[in-house]
Amino acid sequence: MLDAITGYLRTSTTPGEAGSMFWATIYILFITIGVSLAVIAMNWLERKILAHMQIRLGPMRVGPHGLLQPFADALKLLIKEDIIPEDADKLVFWSAPVVVTMTAFTTFLVVPFGRTHAVTDMNIGILFMLGVSSLGVLGIIMAGWSSNSHYPLMGSLRSSAQMVSYEVAMGLAIVSAVLMTSLGTGPGTLSMIGIVEAQNAQQTWFIFNFFPLGLIAFGVFAIAMVAETNRAPFDLPEAESELVAGFHTEYSGFRWSLFFLAEYAAMLAVSSIAVTLWLGGWMRPFPNWLSGSTWNMAFSFVPALAFFVLAGLCFLGTIRMPKIPQMKIQTVGLGVFGALLGFIGLVLLVPSVSERIQDIFWFVAKVACFMYLYIWYRGTFPRYRFDQLMRVGWKVLLPVGLGVLIATAIWGLMPQLSAAALGMVQ
Amino acid sequence: MSLTPLLRKIFLVDLIKGLKVTFHYQGPNEAITEQYPLERPVIYERFRGQPRLNSNPDTGESLCIVCNLCALACPEQLIVVKGERNPTTKRKEVVSWTYDVSRCMFCGLCAEACSTDALDLTQDYEMALYSREGMVLDQAALERGQEPVRYAK
């Protein structure tokens, strides 16, 4: 029994491939907790960064620099009164947030945080992610319909129209990336791990592959992904100034927080798709160009260094705190938080730990860049009108996606095509 | 469509410009929000706030000579000054002095009319109260001025 559990650690595959039920469960738990923590961190970061972009300070009072604000909010939401409208369809109203949250979390089953750090390696991984994440639309329609109210209904209809139309462009961009796995080295694959390994084999991230085709496909995906997750500037379904809150107007308390959780989990999921398909997944930057043991060593220090920088920022914050008795607890708290981050950095310095963990770090760092972009877009761009949104989706992204797909196929098959043409001539 | 706007559209030039602007606003010293109770805002000299009656700093007696000019100048007629001639010093002295802040619009005409610089509108701004009664200030309150609010446990 114990041998079966520890035996997995010596293998270098995912728990799903190794057939280890125990470790699969552990991974699922870790991913669930990790995603929830990421959503909490994201909540704080979004409020802070958005505030700074609008020349405000953001949350400052609950904990040092408002660090405990998301926890206070979560507590508030959990103990809030749970209201179900009188004429609502109770069962559907009850199950809608569950469907949305479950689909958002299920997609993480195949996200490869590292070569060994995924629950399982499905051979239809990317298809599975797309399929499950589009089930989320169902939950949103259920929420809008069962609320028996105008704003939610309109919000959910807008949402479904938007998500369905952008899924087409998104799918085309993804297909062109999947196509790239079959061109050059080896047969094509839909497996998330296989896609990253294909990038490793072709010695390039797919964003730079067949330049500029990979970049354009990535651009199409990057726009479609913002629309797909209903975020600004495509946040028409919940357009705060027009529709109150869109499909979740009638929801409150815990159910509302489930929608919130699902929205951010979906953002993380599509960002992981983008990272896996175009940005080399868990691979560190320049794995081939800057290869060799010296560079490996240098890059293995980066995760620890990142945590040390964060800890340093915390300590800088403690120094800059106003020196008055009321802020004493906050100053100490920020110092302890900085010490915690520094301790994590120290742990990451241990070679065996950093070897096992650093691919997770690179993956998370890449996803974090996307999360920052989401906030940055929200702080900058005004909302699109609905006809503009549809025009961008159908008249720009769809033809561009199709064109890139065809161009990628032709470019990739150029050797065979030219050989065939030569054969015809002779 | 001419070429330049089309290229601008394709390469999202305007969007990137916008992103640049918001990115620069994130600088640590850009925020203009004040953490109010901890950090007090700078009040300009010409700001007109809580009224105050000045007294002679040497002798401590009120500078008001009950000329009633402020009451006449006030467009809201919220100043009521009553005085009585003191038979020994032959000077008018204040019997009652009320200033109804709840009706005041802080135009400052009273302070301008005052011939002895007795009445002033100060830079104190924390005038919120829980009831309207406290807003009618008498001579003692006006001379005391506003006590700064301390936020502490």
pLDDT in tens, B78-98: 999 998 888 888 888 888 889
Instruction: Choose from A46, A50, A52 for mutation: most chain B CBs within 10 A.
Output: A52
Residue A18 predicted with pLDDT over 80? no
In DSSP notation, B110-152 reads HHHH-SSS-EEE-S------SSSGGGEE-HHHHHH-PPPP---
Could you tell me if A166 and A179 are in contact, meaning their C-beta atoms sit under 8 angstroms apart? no
More confident of the two residues A202 and A32: A32
pLDDT in tens, A192-225: 888 888 888 888 888 888 788 888 999 999 999 9
A381 vs B: CB within 8 A: yes
Q: Tens of pLDDT along B52-72?
A: 888 888 887 888 888 889 999
Identify the burial level of B140 via C-beta atoms within 10 angstroms of its C-beta, where 0-12 means exposed, 13-18 middle and 19 or more buried. exposed
Give yes or no for A53 touching B (CB within 8 A): yes
Residues A344, B108: Cα–Cα separation, whole Å = 61
Q: Does the pLDDT of residue A261 top 80, yes or no?
A: yes
Chain A hits for B31, CB-CB cut-off 8 Å, are 51-52, 55-57
CB contact (8 A) between residue A324 and residue B21: no
Q: Does A385 reach chain B within 8 Å, measured CB to CB?
A: no
Q: How many CB atoms lie within 10 A of CB A405?
A: 22
Quick one: DSSP state of residue A395?
I
Given a contact cutoff of 8 angstroms between Cβ atoms, the answer to whether B64 and B118 are in contact is yes
Q: Hey, are the CB atoms on B32 and A55 less than 8 Å from each other?
A: yes
User: Which of A239, A299, A215, A259 lies closest to A93, judged by CA?
Assistant: A259
B32 interface with A at CB cutoff 8 Å: yes
d(CA A185, CA A167): 28
Q: Name the residue facing B26 among A53, A324, A327 (closest C-beta).
A: A53
Written as one string, the DSSP assignment of A120-153 is ---TTHHHHHHHHHHTHHHHHHHHHHHTTSHHHH
Burial class from Cβ neighbours inside 10 Å (0-12, 13-18, 19+) for residue A149 reads middle
Beta bridge partners of B62: B55
User: Nearest residue on chain A to B17, judged by CA atoms?
Assistant: A380
Residue B4, chain A, CB below 8 Å: the answer is no
pLDDT at B1: 59
Beta-carbon count within 10 A of A203 CB: 12
> Residues A231, A235, A236, CA angle at the centre, nearest 5°?
160
Enumerate residues 78 to 117 of chain B having a beta carbon within 8 A of any beta carbon in chain A.
Answer: none
Reported as a single tens digit per residue, the pLDDT across A115-174 is 888 888 888 888 998 888 888 888 888 888 888 888 888 888 888 888 888 888 898 999
Q: Do A322 and B39 touch (CB under 8 A)?
A: yes
* Cross-chain Cβ contact B21/A380 below 8 Å: yes
More confident residue, A418 or A237: A418
Is A382 in CB contact (< 8 Å) with chain B? Answer: no
Confidence grade of residue A413 (pLDDT, cut at 50, 70, 90): confident
Among B30, B35, B151, select the one facing A60 at the smallest CB separation: B35
Interface test with A, best of B16, B22, B150 (most A CBs within 10 A): B22
Q: Which residue has the higher pLDDT, B27 or A36?
A: A36
Amino acid B72: pLDDT: 92
Question: Mean pLDDT across chain A, nearest whole number?
Answer: 85
Q: A217-226, A398-407, B98-107, B124-133: lowest mean pLDDT where?
A: B124-133
Q: What tokens appear for B62 in the block? A: 């009120």
pTM here is 0.84
Of the candidates B97, B110, B111, B108, the one whose C-alpha atom is nearest the C-alpha of residue B66 is: B97
Q: Using CB atoms, which residue from A56, A326, A379 is nearest to B22?
A: A379
Query: What pLDDT score was predicted for residue A271?
Result: 92
Indicate the residue of A52, A56, A380 with minimum beta-carbon distance to B18. A380
Secondary structure letter of residue B55 according to DSSP: B
Nearest CA among A234, A77, A217, A241 for reference residue A158: A234
Between A43 and B134, name the one with better pLDDT.
A43
What value does the CA radius of gyration of chain B take, rounded to a whole number of Å?
A: 26
Provide the shortest C-alpha distance from residue A376 to chain B (in Å). Answer: 7
Q: Kindly state whether B16 is in contact with chain A, defined as any CB-CB distance less than 8 angstroms.
A: no
CB pairs under 8 A between A and B: 41
